[in-house]
Each structure stands twice: as structure tokens, then as C-alpha cells.
Chains A and B, each alone.
Chain A
Amino acid sequence: DILMTQSPLFLPVTPGEPASISCRSNQSLLHKNGYDYLEWYLQKPGQSPQLLIYLSSSRASGVPDRFSGSGSGTDFTLKISRVEAEDVGVYYCMQPLQIPYTFGRGTKLEIK
């Protein structure tokens, strides 16, 4: 199974400041088609997860452009350019390249 490692696990951020979450896999997520199969999800308190980013850097429909994804191979990053109060929750990376799909442990973003 592909192991996904996120850091940090806890991220306190001041509103208006940027935030960054790292996700590393123990196998390359680069498909032979040239795309990296890495997704980011946000689970807000008391809600179901929602898709933020797919194929490493493509924003899902309706996701604000302050969210961006980058990276390739085994090293990926989710960045929030200016954190807002509504961004609190747990962020998960997930690889859909290989069955079983595997998630990172999650990064809890909190507002300072």
C-alpha cells in the first residue's frame, strides 16, 4: 500500500496569513500519462469531506483561488494564500493512483 505522510498534523494560523501543508508518498504518484494522482480534501467541523484539489494542482469546482496545489512524484504541497475563518478543519491528502486508495493522517488547521 502507498503510505501518505502529512505534516504538520496541527497548524494554527492567523487570519490573512498564508498556510502550507506538506504531503509525501512512499511511492511516486506520477502516472505514465504525465499526471500526478494526488488529491486534497477538507473536512470542516461536523461536515463531510469536500474535494479541493485533484491531479496535484487542479482546483475543484467552486474552490476559492486562494487554495493551490503543487508538487510531483512523491512530494506535494497545499497552500492557502490568505487563511480565512471558514478554512478551519482537517485537511487530508489522498492518492487514487493505486488500490487501495490511501489518505494521510490529516492536518488540523485552526485559527489563532
Chain B
Amino acid sequence: QVQLVESGGGVVQPGGSLRLSCEASGFSFSSHDMHWVRQAPGKGLEWVAFIRYEGSQQYHADSVKGRFTISRDNSKNVLYLQMNSLTSDDTAIYYCAKLGRSFGSGLDSWGQGALVTVSS
């Protein structure tokens, strides 16, 4: 079955960096667009970034543009989120999510999430 397992979360000081990973299994990873979505404590869902299945195109929310970078390694079935210049506003659970078979088919599988805490 489809599995998405995030790792790399933790506590980091303001201005610091962190790289999240999302290991995928149970499906053809290289055939699916992937997303990162985050959720600040007690808040709603916020879309963060998206990468096409082959990695040629990436899009980021304005709130993270220039600081975060989504990437993937299809040979390892891993999705990444490099996070630099972190602020307290970036404190959240970060979920990786898989897009279904085509545009508009929904984020049909989600990981369990990785908690990132930005604090001095």
C-alpha cells in the first residue's frame, strides 16, 4: 500500500535551516506530482510547495518563496523540502502528499507529518 514517511523535523533556532525528507513506497513515485502542506499549531492547512513528477517544475507559496526549496530524487523515491532562514511563523507540522493520477484528482495520500519548531 502507499506509504509516505516524513523525517528531518526538529527544533531549530530562528535563522536556521532544516531539510525534510519524505520517503515514498507502494506506488510509482516517479509518475506522481508531489506536494508539501503545513499546519501551524491549532491552525488550518496551508499549501507550501509542489513539484512535477519528473522534477522539471517547482512552485512555492509566497510565504516561503526564496527560503524553501522543494526537490525530489526519483532514483531513491524521496521528496525533499529544504528550509532556510526559518522564522517562528514556520513552526508547523509539515505533511508530504501525493497527487492522484492527474491534475485535479486530489491529494490522495498523506504522510504522518514532521514537526518543525523554530524557537530560540
Contacts and interface: CB of A to CB of B under 8 A. Distances in A.
Interface in A24-73: 31, 35, 37, 39, 41, 43, 48-51, 53-55, 60-61
B66 to A, nearest CB: 14
Given A35-B104, A100-B61, A48 B110 contact: yes
Given A48-B110, A49-B45, A102-B47, A55 B61 contact: no
Interface size class of B (residues with CB under 8 A): 20 to 34
B106 A103 contact: no
- Is the interface on chain A under 10, 10 to 19, 20 to 34, or 35 or more residues? 20 to 34
Contacts of A101: 35, 47, 50
A48 B108 CA distance: 11
Given A54-B100, A96-B103, A96-B104, A49 B110 contact: yes
Given A50-B110, A96-B106, 16 more contacts: A31-B104, A41-B107, A43-B45, A48-B110, A49-B45, A49-B110, A55-B104, A60-B106, A90-B44, A92-B44, A94-B45, A96-B104, A101-B35, A103-B44, A103-B45, A103-B46
20 contacts: A39-B107, A41-B107, A48-B95, A48-B110, A48-B111, A48-B113, A49-B95, A50-B110, A51-B106, A51-B107, A54-B105, A60-B106, A60-B108, A90-B44, A92-B44, A96-B104, A101-B47, A102-B47, A103-B44, A106-B45
